[in-house]
Amino acid sequence: MRFLSSAALFGLAYASTQAVLQPEEPSDFRTFHSPYSPHHSIRIRQQNESICAAHSAQYTGWLDIGRKHLFFWYFESQNDPANDPLTLWMTGGPGGSSMIGLFEEVGPCLINEYGNGTYYNPWGWSRNSSLLFVDQPVDVGFSYVDEGEDLPGDSHQAAIDMHRFLQLFVSEVFPQLQTLPVHLSGESYAGHYVPYLGSQIVQQNKLYPTEPQVLLHSCFVGNGYYSPRDTTYGYWETLCTTNPGVPEPVFNQTRCDIMAANMPRCMEVSDVCVRNPDPAICHAASEVCYEGVIGWYDDESGEGGRNRFDITAPCALDGICYIEAARIEQYLNTPAVWAALSPPKEIKEYKVTSNNVSRAFDLTSDTMTPASEQVAFLLANQVHFLAYQGNLDLACNTAGNLRWAHSLPWRGQVEFASKALRPWSWVDVVSGKGGVAGTTKEVRVKVSESTDKESRFALVTVDGAGHFLPQDRPDIALDMMLPSAALTICCCLFWFGYNHGLTPSTASAEMDELDFAPAAAMDFRLTERTVADTNTDCIYNPVSFLLI
């Protein structure tokens, strides 16, 4: 099952009413070679603000892996690049360009309404982290392969290339990053990309301790495609109840009854696929589930129809639905951008999706089998994991991913499944406003009996947002990632202690007893702003551990 259409998506043209700034002459490429892998090198050049208003140093280039070439765009942190972590973003698909994440969601600059320039994004994730976008697997976006080279057909093959990229990037190109934490992020099919890459990093670090290490700290994925079976199961709850936060169900009772009747057979054949991940078996299972469950909605999606990524919104374009994707494609094909990036002659034009990659993955069972084993492996190796969800999404719905999270086979499974979801709050770093964002639950579990080291797994939901949560609610998305999110915890400690006559340290211990899990993990650091902005209705903020 694919969430980015393999059809040609964007054939629209837009009248330009703004002029695109002409870039200054970019610097020449510099090339860095890997001392550990002779076929790997990175060619890179620095960019200026003209094609992306980033407010920090930025670089573009390609990783060359023999006959394969991965494009990247890197932004240094706007805060403290020498000490802030590195966050990698990978858009899903399979076959989606990570330029969607850059220019539509979490990048320091966003595409303008005319598709001919960018503007600064105050909620970009490079505020407190260096940020790296990679068009992967090869053949996506500005990435390319030499003639005759096969494309990766599964997440494991893609992860091998990406690990080598990160290893060379942090050791040779930006060696100051080698001692800093690395976070893997993305959305949609990144529910496969991120766990597979994370597992590859952990395994290679252990196997080759004398080679440069990628210091993987955590993973966070928005509306991830972790388990096709559970995602399909969540279709009924998403369309036939008000649980996503809609005033009435999307489907009538007749359709819901048909889907419910077809669900057991779909689950049965999906289980066969998981136990026997042969592509032929899994494709047959996918057809059963599509005809009996998924197709009731997806057959009506597309331009002018239903939107799989937000059940309350119309669909402007076939495939990805949002007009911003077409504007990104238009902008990245302008002469000014090409002059700045200097793509090689093998690239004829930039496309926001790769049909070739979609087809390559279709030939394997990757899109129809879960990534649960990889996520469990990460948690067993002290890599924290956050699954965040926009509740209005159907394609990678909250109901299905909550079901997946409950069945995840790791040491914290029983505790996590037994916990109830509870409200969490957010604070906008730009305006200072905030409120209740959605619900969450998390657990922290020792990775083994012989150590005090813990892994943390959290699931966070956001009301009023769909599949592209950072696009719908950029303020909340940033709050989840910033260390300043911990201020909510500090505020809660302050008011809890004040109302109960406790000192900060005693309040922290008392709140731990009340299952206020993060309290003991946070430094008690109240500021004037913290106290002034605090609401006495203290609500848990779950995810500030990610970038601290």
For 482-519, the pLDDT digits (tens) are 754 433 444 444 434 434 454 444 544 544 443 333 33
Distance between CA atoms of residues 493 and 491, nearest Å: 5
Answer yes or no: do 518 and 376 share one domain: no
Q: pLDDT tens digit string along 117-164?
A: 999 999 999 999 999 999 999 999 999 999 888 899 999 999 999 999
Distance between CA atoms of residues 132 and 98, nearest Å: 10
Answer yes or no: do 406 and 338 share one domain: yes
- Let me know if 254 is exposed, middle or buried by CB neighbors in 10 A (0-12, 13-18, 19+): exposed
pLDDT(404) > 80? yes
Please state, as a whole number, how many other Cβ atoms lie within 10 Å of the Cβ of residue 77. 23
Answer yes or no: do 495 and 417 share one domain: no
Boundary-marking domain end, from 439, 464, 481: 481
Answer yes or no: do 89 and 161 share one domain: yes
Domain-located, residue 185: yes
Answer yes or no: do 473 and 524 share one domain: no
DSSP string, 115-142: SS-EEE-TT-GGGSSEEEEEE-STTSTT
pLDDT tier at 530 (50, 70, 90 boundaries)? very low
Counting the structural domains of the chain, the total is 2
User: What's the whole-number average pLDDT of the chain?
Assistant: 86
391: nearest Cα among 462, 294, 337, 324: 462
Answer yes or no: do 156 and 86 share one domain: yes
pLDDT(113) > 80? yes
Answer yes or no: do 361 and 412 share one domain: yes
Domain-located, residue 297: no
Three-state DSSP class for 325?
helix
Q: pLDDT tens digit string along 170-188?
A: 999 999 999 999 999 999 9
Beta bridge partners of 494: none
Mean pLDDT of 529-541: 39
Q: pLDDT tens digit string along 423-458?
A: 999 988 888 888 999 999 999 998 877 778 899 999
pLDDT at 453: 86
pLDDT(548) > 70? no
Domain-located, residue 442: yes
Tell me what percent of the residues of the chain surpass a pLDDT of 90: 76
Long-range pairs of 75-79 with CB within 8 A, sequence gap ≥ 24: 75/107, 75/108, 75/126, 75/130, 75/131, 75/132, 76/126, 76/130, 77/126, 77/127, 77/128, 77/129, 77/130, 77/131, 78/108, 78/126, 78/127, 78/128, 79/127, 79/128
Tokens of 375: 């996520």
Please state, as a whole number, how many other Cβ atoms lie within 10 Å of the Cβ of residue 304. 10
Please state, as a whole number, how many other Cβ atoms lie within 10 Å of the Cβ of residue 518. 25
Boundary-marking domain end, from 481, 507, 524: 481
Distance between CA atoms of residues 539 and 376, nearest Å: 29
Three-state DSSP class for 351?
coil
pLDDT(51) > 60? yes
pLDDT(331) > 50? yes
Q: What range defines the domain where residue 61 resides?
A: 30-229+320-481
Domain-located, residue 6: no
Summary count for the chain: helices (H), strands (E): 18, 15
Distance between CA atoms of residues 40 and 33, nearest Å: 6
Phi first, then psi: give them for residue 63, nearest 5 degrees: -90, 125
Boundary-marking domain end, from 464, 481, 498: 481
Distance between CA atoms of residues 211 and 398, nearest Å: 39
How many residues in total does the chain contain?
548
Answer yes or no: do 394 and 428 share one domain: yes
pLDDT at 261: 98
Tokens of 245: 């936060």
Mean pLDDT of 458-471: 97
Domain-located, residue 272: no
Strand 130-135 and strand 68-75: the pairing is antiparallel
Map 47-81 to HEC letters. ECCCCCCCCCCEEEEEEEECCEEEEEEEECCCCCC
- Position 62: which residue type? W
pLDDT(277) > 90? yes
Distance between CA atoms of residues 416 and 387, nearest Å: 13
pLDDT at 4: 34
141: nearest Cα among 394, 357, 416, 412: 357
Domain-located, residue 79: yes
Distance between CA atoms of residues 446 and 385, nearest Å: 14
Angle between helices 279-289 and 253-275 (to 10 degrees): 170
pLDDT at 506: 53
CATH label of the domain that carries residue 34 = 3.40.50.1820
Answer yes or no: do 467 and 491 share one domain: no
Mean pLDDT of 242-264: 97
Residue with tokens 């993305």: 186
CA atoms in the 13 A half-sphere facing the CB of 545: 25
More confident residue, 28 or 409: 409
Distance between CA atoms of residues 460 and 453, nearest Å: 23
Answer yes or no: do 472 and 398 share one domain: yes
Distance between CA atoms of residues 436 and 479, nearest Å: 12
Answer yes or no: do 464 and 498 share one domain: no
Interior/surface letters 284-296, b for 16+ CB within 10 angstroms, e for the rest: ebbebbbebbbeb
Beta bridge partners of 86: 130, 182
- Let me know if 15 is exposed, middle or buried by CB neighbors in 10 A (0-12, 13-18, 19+): exposed
Domain-located, residue 248: no
Residues annotated as catalytic are 188, 393, 467
Domain-located, residue 337: yes
Distance between CA atoms of residues 138 and 162, nearest Å: 10
pLDDT at 529: 32
Answer yes or no: do 351 and 475 share one domain: yes
Min mean pLDDT across 18-22, 243-247, 371-375 is at 18-22
More confident residue, 511 or 303: 303
